């Protein structure tokens, strides 16, 4: 059975190396967890696409089912689900996030 939300999500993940499904936008996050991940990505100079799930209820519910992960934000790198705020923060604090991005071939910009 075809799922339009899943197809849209897969298309976004396939078209962008780094995608953050979040509440709000990178310039105006609308929850603390989304804001935390934006700050980490911006600090590292990660080029990413932010997708505001608050603007689209089908997308907001779809991303949770797509990843089988109940919370937002959700970070994808080269098609791989990385995790939500806690996982991204833990990887950053352990100095693992930069290495993970490098392994995935993500070129960081000067932050």
pTM of the model: 0.95
Write down the pLDDT at residue 109: 85
Q: Which two tokens stand for residue 64?
A: 């949770």
Q: What is the per-residue pLDDT across 8-66, written as a single tens digit (0 to 9) for each?
A: 999 999 999 999 999 999 999 999 999 999 999 999 999 999 999 999 999 999 999 99
The span from the CA of 95 to the CA of 104, in Å, is: 15
Q: Find the distance separating the first CA and the last CA of the chain, reported in whole Å.
A: 43
Q: Which two tokens stand for residue 63?
A: 């991303």
Contacts of 6 (CB under 8 A, 6+ apart): 62, 65, 66
Write down the pLDDT at residue 110: 65
Peptide bond connecting 73 to the previous residue in cis, omega within 30 degrees of 0: yes
pLDDT of 1 higher than 80: no
- What residue ranges do the domains of the chain occupy? 4-103
Fold of domain 4-103: Glutaredoxin (3.40.30)
Where does the chain have alpha helices with state H?
Answer: 4-15, 32-44, 57-67, 85-93, 97-103
CB atoms closer than 10 angstroms to residue 2: 5
């Amino acid at each position: 059975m075809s799922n339009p939300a899943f197809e849209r999500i897969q298309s976004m993940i396939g078209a962008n190396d780094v995608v953050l499904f979040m509440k709000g936008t990178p310039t105006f996050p609308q929850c603390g967890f989304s804001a935390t991940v934006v700050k980490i990505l911006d600090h590292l100079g990660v080029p990413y696409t932010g997708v505001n799930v608050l603007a689209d209820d089908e997308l907001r519910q779809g991303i949770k089912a797509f990843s089988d992960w109940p919370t937002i934000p959700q970070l994808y790198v080269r098609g791989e689900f990385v995790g939500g705020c806690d996982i991204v923060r833990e990887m950053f604090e352990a100095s693992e996030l930069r290495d993970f991005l490098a392994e995935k071939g993500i070129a960081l910009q000067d932050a």
